[in-house]
Every structure is written in structure tokens, then in C-alpha cells.
A = this chain, B = another copy of it.
Amino acid sequence: MSNCIVAQSGGPTSVINATVAGVVKGNQMNPLYDHVYGGLNGIEGILAERFVDLTNMSEEENRILQQTPSSALGSCRYKMKRDNVEDFEKLLHIMEKYDIETMFYTGGNDSMDTVAALSEYAAEHGIANRRFIGCPKTVDNDLVVIDHCPGFASAAKFIAMTALQTWLDVTVYPPSRQEVFILETMGRDAGWLAASACLSGKIDILILPEDVFDKELFLKRVRECIAEKSKCYVVVSEGARYADGSYIAAAESKNDLFGHAVLGGAGEALEQMILESGAAPRCKVQDLASAQRSHATEQSLVDRTEAYRLGLSAHMHSADKSFTGQMVGMKRREGERYDVEYFTIPAKEVANYVKHFPADWILPEYRGITQEAHDYLQPLIEGTPYITYKNGLPAYVEPYYLRD
């Protein structure tokens, strides 16, 4: 038999390690490969021959790995360019050297492009025994074709939960205290994460990159909320933008009356608009920053289970010696109750596209999302897996990239 390697790329999520755990467990249940290597820091580490051997991972470590956020194998931002023949040759040489037949690559858009490029290169050069398989992940949920991305749902759950909790916090003072609370989420080009805050049922104003930001309309809505109930809860995606496509954070820095640079993101830009216009006398901003993709003590059970199964599914599919250049994914089944089926698709059909939050799921005047959007999101955040704690904190695997 030959060997396989699994590696991770792009920004961390709270369940990307579950996919690795799935590949490893798949090979323990059905040993298609002698060794399951973990490539450290994605393609960058593989090109430097930095591997760990995950073949005999214990059941306990596998379970703890599934609850560990971020990328336990490390990540990279290195993109293999299609015209960089040297990298392609080097990688195939390393695979040959270590008798690695299959590479499983977990990541987003760029990683699927890498999978497509490598498999095309191998095909063009008549190399049949080196195969490349993609496993999707992004917190942004912006991959096309699949119903949703592993990693998104757990981040969405944390965001909705934080919205609910901070709404309880900001509403606690009497009506005499007028206050706006602004929650800023990730999502440079797609509003999925910001929209998921609406699952809390507490959002007054929602601003997505897919909507057009109109300052006067926004301030009108803030004034209405303050007049009605003295508090106003706003959720904004970091990618919120004006009609001309400029980000509201950047645009504000140009428009600042005092000629000062505005530091920080969309939330602070909105805060400044509110305070300068007098729409409300007080404003707090909560930027969820890295915490939203790293928080893993309330992973969505649906998300974690699916991420794990995608690892299993990728390993299973690889028994077919012609299976390469493909990504595994989930489709939602028709029916009353939420369920998915797993399928495969050429990675090139996913790479370099962006799935936006649908325009017809956005309510007018920043009033949130439609029932259809709610029905799409709700089942994804269901369930909380059992989490093992140690000394009062969740038990996590020591990152493999810090072990060597």
C-alpha cells in the first residue's frame, strides 16, 4: 500500500480539525493507506517536508482533536500559482519520495483551486498515481454548490448566542438611558455570519455587504428604535459598503470632519455616525474578531458531525483510484426535517466563486432577514456536543505544528 497526507489551509474554524479526525479515523476503520501523514502549515510545510504521522492516533486524541478549534496542523496563506511549475514538480517529487498517493486538502476557495490545479497538472503529465481531494471549510459560508460550509454554523451559533447575551446586557438599564449596541462580525464579501445574529430574534438593524449602505436611512432607523424603546441593537458585517462599493469604515476615514483617520472597522464607523449625528447619546461596539471563528465550546453539533463525516467521506471516496480533483460536500435533502446527503464535485467548479447572501432574503430598511433565510440557518446551529474539560478549561490537543 501507499500513504496519504492531510493538510489544512486558510483561516481557522472551530471544526476544521474534525475533518482531519475523520480522515484519520476512516483509515483506522478501513486501512486504504499504510500511513496517514499530517502536513504542517498546509502546502508550505509539505513543500518543506514537515510532516507528522497521524496513522495510529488514539481514540481519545481523535475525540479531543474534534473539539479543538483552529488548525491543529497549522495553516498557510501560500497559494500555488498555476504558472509556478517548480512548486508543482517539487510537490509531486515529495509525494513520490514518501510514497504518498493521495493528498486531502481542507480549505476554502484558494485550497479548492490548488486541488484543481494539482490534479490537472498530474493529468497533463500522465501521472495517475498522485491524487488530490478537497474538503471544504470557511466560516464565511461563501463556497458555491454546497448547501453550507463546515465551520460556518459553529461561528454562526456563537454570533447568535453573543447577540442574545449582549442584548440582555444593553437593555438592562431604564428607558432614561438611550443606547445603541453594535455587534461587528466577519464577512468581507458575504453577509452570512452577520445575518445569523438574527437567530437571536433581537436584532433591530442588520447591515450586510450584499445590501447598499445608506447613512441617512441607517440613522433614521436608529432614531426610530431609540424613540420607540430607548435601545437599538445593530449588527454589521465588516464588509458593509456604500452604493459605490467602498467600505463604510474606509469611507468614514475620508469623510471625518476633523481630518482624522478612523481606526478600526465598520462598527466604529457606525458609532461615529451615530454620535456625530446625535441619533443616540451613547454607543457601544463589540467586534467579535478572532473569537467568533475560534470559540469551540459551543460548536454546533450539526457542524461538527458534518465536518467529521466529510473527512470520512473523502477517505472513503479515495478508494476509487480514479478519484482526483474532486471536492466532497453536502446537499440539503428535501423534507420537513433537516438532513443532508454527501456528494462530490470537481474542485474547479467551486474554486474562485463566491456565494453571496441572497438579496431576496434581506428585509428592506435593514430590518433583518426573511423567514426563508431563518429556515435555512436555524437547523445548522442545533445541538451542542459533549466537551471534555481539564482544570476548568476545554481540553485541546497541543498543536502538531509546535511539536516538531
The chain A residues found within 8 Å of chain B, CB to CB, are 12, 41, 44-45, 68-71, 74-77, 157, 160-162, 164-166, 168-174, 177, 181, 199-200, 258, 260-264, 268, 284-291, 293-298, 300, 378, 381-384, 387, 389, 391-394, 396, 399, 401-402
Contact = CB atoms under 8 A, between A and B. Distances in A.
Contacts of A285: 289
B289 A69 contact: no
A167 to B, nearest CB: 9
Contacts of A69: 165, 168-169
Contact of A173 (B76, B260, B284, B384): B76
A169 B399 contact: no
Contact of A392 (B41, B169, B199, B288): B199
Instruction: Rank and list the top 6 A-B pairs by shortest CB-CB distance, nearest first.
Output: A381-B392, A70-B168, A165-B294, A169-B294, A382-B392, A286-B289
Given A295-B165, A394-B164, A264 B261 contact: no
A148 to B, nearest CB: 14
A378 B402 contact: no
Residue of A71, A161, A399, A401 ringed by the most chain B CB atoms within 10 A: A161
Contacts of A44: 174
Q: Is chain A's binding surface mostly helix, strand, loop or mixed?
A: loop
B399 A381 contact: no
A293 B169 CA distance: 8
Contacts of A162: 291, 294-295
> For the complex formed by this chain, how many copies does it contain in all?
2
Contacts of A295: 162, 165
B77 A170 contact: no
24 contacts: A12-B168, A41-B174, A44-B174, A45-B174, A68-B168, A69-B168, A70-B165, A70-B169, A74-B172, A75-B173, A77-B177, A157-B392, A160-B392, A160-B393, A164-B396, A169-B293, A172-B401, A260-B260, A262-B263, A263-B263, A286-B287, A297-B297, A298-B298, A383-B392
A332 B396 CA distance: 30
A380 to B, nearest CB: 8
Determine which residue in A173, A293, A392 has the highest number of CB atoms from chain B within 10 A of its CB, and name it: A392
B174 A74 contact: yes
B291 A165 contact: yes
A264 B68 CA distance: 31
A160 B156 CA distance: 22
Nearest to A286: B289
A162 B69 CA distance: 11
A293 to B, nearest CB: 7
A275 to B, nearest CB: 11
A296 B165 contact: yes
Contacts of A12: 168-169, 172
A24 to B, nearest CB: 19
Given A169-B293, A171-B402, A381 B396 contact: no
Given A70-B168, A162-B295, 4 more contacts: A69-B165, A74-B172, A157-B392, A297-B298
A171 B268 contact: no
Contacts of A171: 399, 401-402
A291 B172 contact: no
Contacts of A173: 41, 74-77
Contacts of A258: 261
A260 B256 CA distance: 12
Which among A74, A174, A261 has the highest number of chain B CB atoms within 10 Å?
A174
Nearest to A302: B392
